[in-house]
Amino acid sequence: AQSVSQHNHHVILSEAASLELGCNYSYGGTVNLFWYVQYPGQHLQLLLKYFSGDPLVKGIKGFEAEFIKSKFSFNLRKPSVQWSDTAEYFCAVNYHPSAGTYKYIFGTGTRLKVLA
Amino acid sequence: ETGVTQSPTHLIKTRGQQVTLRCSSQSGHNTVSWYQQALGQGPQFIFQYYREEENGRGNFPPRFSGLQFPNYSSELNVNALELDDSALYLCASSLVPGGGYTFGSGTRLTVV
């Protein structure tokens, strides 16, 4: 079965520290890649997405992610975190097991806590 | 932007019963998918509908079924409820299959 791995389950950082959250997937074919964020008490929101082209994608709130095909990775980064970035972050992959069909896999999530 | 709305927000059912959860997609979105999220886990893909036809399914048994209507609302039906079906059920819509999703706040189902 295909999988998405988020290696960091809990991350604690101080404000202004840099952030990198790892995401690796197993599917060997073409994929669409996503990062979603869930702030406390809110629903999942799309942070950024990669379909094709420039492997470095920029999202909302200063987040970016880099797709490295050879490593099956799509790591999320932010140069300087803020207290308001405290949330749970989910990596997700969409792929086509056969023509016209879709599957989505989410990672188990990383809980980020930013200390003021 | 109307967002994705789900009803009800909470539901308690007895093992063996059937349940229907409802979702209203964001305006203009013709793709809807449903997810099951257990506590401490990421969302698990149940299925996706595009223009009223299922075009993707995760590893869930046939007792999980769905419908999408012409007005882009949708339903998730679960028959013969089991205790392990207790979870948060999320609906999400997208402009196109494979695109980024707009999620609803979910329906918390408890099976007793």
Tens digit of pLDDT per residue, chain B (112 long)? 569 999 999 999 999 999 999 999 988 899 999 999 998 899 999 999 999 999 999 999 999 999 999 988 999 999 999 999 999 999 999 988 888 899 999 999 999 9
pLDDT at res. B96: 84
Q: CB-based contacts of A33: which residues, under 8 Å, 6+ apart?
A: A23, A25, A49, A50, A65, A67, A74, A91, A92, A93, A94
Q: Assess A86–B contact: CB distance below 8 Å, yes or no.
A: no
Which of A43, A49, A103 comes nearest B56 by C-beta? Answer: A103
pLDDT at res. B45: 97
pLDDT at res. B1: 53
Name the minimum distance, in Å, from the CA of A51 to any CA of chain B. Answer: 9
pLDDT at res. A108: 96
pLDDT at res. B2: 65
Q: What is the mean pLDDT of each run of 10 residues along chain A (116 residues)?
A: 92 97 95 96 94 95 96 97 97 92 95 96
pLDDT at res. B72: 83
pLDDT at res. B28: 87
Q: How many CB atoms are located within 10 Å of the residue B90 CB?
A: 26
Q: What spatial distance separates the first Cα and last Cα of chain A, rounded to whole Å? A: 41
3-state secondary structure of A73: strand
Query: Which chain A residue is nearest to residue B43, measuring alpha carbons?
Result: A106
Contact list, A106 vs chain B (CB under 8 Å)? 35, 42-45
| CB within 8 Å: A43 and B105 | yes
Contact list, A89 vs chain B (CB under 8 Å)? none
Q: Assess A50–B contact: CB distance below 8 Å, yes or no.
A: no
pLDDT at res. A46: 95
Which of A43, A51, A107 comes nearest B103 by C-beta? Answer: A43
Name the minimum distance, in Å, from the CA of B77 to any CA of chain A. Answer: 19
Q: How does DSSP classify residue A83?
A: G
